[in-house]
């Protein structure tokens, strides 16, 4: 079946559909990872976005139940140069087309993804529409332009759990994870470090969080604009000074806002598993996994309270910060990877060390 992807600036890409039929809307972005499409599909941070894979052949190792990063895929649409008709891997349980079909997600193949990636790189991420039913160029351009964007929009409420979940009930350290769209591997990394992990909905207040008597709090990744979730920012403000806090991705941005900083939208975001980040303390460079479209403004932070710990070597944007007195730190990238390199896993160890130090002081 024919399919068409139309961007709000009038750029048109025609191809063939696979999986679901219909019309879907979202901000179109590109991901530079060569593998890990299943983890990308199930990353809640992609809610509200149509994802283009820069690598040309996608789907060759199929889909399996072990590599899910959330309860279901959250991408609004999936764009590839070519989807593999054969899935060959001993862990594979179904192919990419079947998986997208089961979850009612439209896929499009046969377009020049290099041209699309370059266009986004030059013009910036923008609103788009992907359709198998409306193939009229003018109609789709108008639909793309009138669709919802990401700025100021609360997408966290669409991915967060609606009730408390015990991920692991054994461990020395009690960690409460505020679920803004948390990836499962963050929870696995915590549980693997002797942590008892409780996941709470994003709307949970500070009082209810502290009722769990946590040794530490993790602010998770999630989709969209951090300014669209002022209730989480307010919760974090009320948690400051109560126990160690570790923020990842959207959690990093929320911490920035909680300490009086500002955030802004990046031109095309950081999406992929090959982003170089420099640790300003050690001088070491880690290759990191990233997925975000917004960023903390380094210059807006109160330098008496917060210090920048990591920067992106591609564009010099904020990749990490910490409080100068309190046991609070955050990173913009994904130390849990999935997919991606494991260079930054040590940050979970740093979080555990902060919890241990705080316990000894009590």
Residues 263-322 have pLDDT tens digits of 999 999 999 999 999 999 999 999 999 999 999 999 999 999 999 999 999 999 999 999
Given pLDDT bands bounded at 50, 70 and 90, which one contains residue 359? confident
Instruction: State the pLDDT at residue 254.
Output: 98
Instruction: State the pLDDT at residue 211.
Output: 98
User: Where in the chain is CATH 3.40.50.880?
Assistant: 156-361
pLDDT at 36 over 90: yes
Q: Is-catalytic flag, 249?
A: yes
Given pLDDT bands bounded at 50, 70 and 90, which one contains residue 361? confident
Largest CA-CA distance found in the chain, in angstroms, rounded = 66
pLDDT at 362 over 80: no
Residues paired with 332 in a beta bridge: none
Residues paired with 312 in a beta bridge: 277
C-beta separation of 77 from 31 below 8 A: no
The total of other beta-carbon atoms located within 10 Å of residue 350's CB is 14
Exactly one of 119, 292, 310, 334 is catalytic; which is it?
334
The total of other beta-carbon atoms located within 10 Å of residue 296's CB is 28
Q: How far, in Å, CA of 194 to CA of 349, rounded?
A: 11
Binding-site residues sit at 45, 222, 224, 250, 253, 291, 293-294
Structure tokens at 159: 């991915």
pLDDT at 157 over 70: yes
Q: Is-catalytic flag, 336?
A: yes
Instruction: State the pLDDT at residue 360.
Output: 78
Q: How far, in Å, CA of 70 to CA of 187, rounded?
A: 11
Each residue's pLDDT tens digit, 176-232: 999 999 999 999 999 999 999 999 999 999 999 999 999 999 999 999 999 999 999
Characterize the bridge pairing of strands 263-279 and 285-296. antiparallel
Q: Is-catalytic flag, 243?
A: no
Beta strands in the chain (DSSP E): 2-7, 12-19, 23-31, 49-53, 57-58, 77-79, 82-83, 106-109, 126-131, 165-168, 173-179, 195-201, 216-219, 245-248, 263-279, 285-296, 306-312, 318-323, 328-331
Residue 46's φ and ψ, nearest 5 degrees, are -90, 5
User: Where in the chain is CATH 3.50.30.20?
Assistant: 2-146
Percent of the chain with pLDDT over 90: 99
Exactly one of 249, 271, 295, 319 is catalytic; which is it?
249
Q: How far, in Å, CA of 345 to CA of 51, rounded?
A: 26
Angle at 34 between CA 76 and CA 59, to 5 degrees: 60
Q: Mean pLDDT throughout 152-167?
A: 97
C-beta separation of 200 from 177 below 8 A: yes
| Packed helices 230-239 and 250-258: angle between N→C axes, nearest 10 degrees | 70
Residue 119's φ and ψ, nearest 5 degrees, are -65, -45
Structure tokens at 88: 């060959």
pLDDT, the chain, mean: 97
Binding-site residues for L-glutamine sit at 45, 222, 224, 250, 253, 291, 293-294
The third-level CATH classification (topology) of the domain covering 2-146 is Glucose Oxidase; domain 1 (3.50.30)
DSSP class of residue 334?
B
Structure tokens at 126: 């923008």
Q: Which CATH number, 3.40.190.10, 3.40.50.880, 3.30.390.10, 3.30.70.360, labels domain 156-361?
A: 3.40.50.880
Q: How far, in Å, CA of 66 to CA of 53, rounded?
A: 22
C-beta separation of 321 from 330 below 8 A: yes
């Amino acid at each position: 079946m024919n399919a068409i992807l139309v961007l709000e600036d009038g750029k048109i890409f025609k191809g063939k559909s696979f999986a679901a039929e219909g019309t879907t809307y979202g901000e179109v972005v590109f991901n530079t990872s060569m593998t890990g499409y299943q983890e990308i599909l199930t990353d809640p941070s992609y809610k509200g976005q149509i994802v283009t894979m820069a690598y040309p052949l996608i789907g060759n190792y199929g889909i399996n139940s072990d590599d899910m990063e959330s309860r279901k895929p959250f991408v609004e649409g999936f764009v590839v140069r070519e989807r593999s008709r054969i899935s060959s891997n001993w862990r594979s349980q179904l192919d990419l087309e079947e998986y997208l079909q089961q979850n009612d997600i439209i896929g499009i193949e046969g377009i020049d993804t290099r041209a699309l990636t370059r266009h986004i790189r030059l013009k910036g991420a923008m609103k788009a529409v992907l359709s198998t039913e409306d193939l009229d160029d003018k109609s789709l351009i108008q639909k793309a332009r009138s669709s919802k964007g990401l700025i100021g929009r609360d997408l966290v409420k669409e991915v967060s759990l609606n009730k408390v979940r015990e991920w692991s009930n054994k461990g020395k350290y009690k960690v409460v994870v505020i679920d803004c769209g948390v990836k499962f591997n963050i929870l696995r990394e915590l549980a693997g470090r002797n942590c008892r992990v409780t996941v709470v909905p994003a709307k949970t207040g500070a009082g209810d969080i502290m009722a769990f008597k946590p040794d530490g709090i993790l602010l998770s990744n999630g989709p969209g604009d951090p300014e669209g979730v002022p209730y989480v920012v307010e919760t974090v403000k009320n948690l400051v000074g109560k126990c160690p806090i570790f923020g990842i991705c959207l959690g990093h941005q929320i911490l920035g806002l909680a300490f009086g900083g500002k955030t802004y939208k990046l031109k095309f975001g950081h999406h992929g598993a090959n982003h170089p980040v420099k640790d300003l303390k050690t001088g070491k460079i880690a290759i990191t996994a990233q997925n975000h479209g917004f960023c903390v403004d380094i210059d807006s932070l109160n330098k008496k309270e917060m210090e920048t710990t990591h920067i992106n070597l591609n564009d010099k944007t904020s990749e990490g910060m910490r409080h100068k007195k309190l046991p609070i730190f955050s990173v913009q990238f994904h130390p849990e990877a999935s997919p991606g390199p494991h260079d930054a896993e040590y940050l979970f160890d740093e979080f555990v060390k902060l919890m241990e130090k705080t316990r000894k002081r009590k």
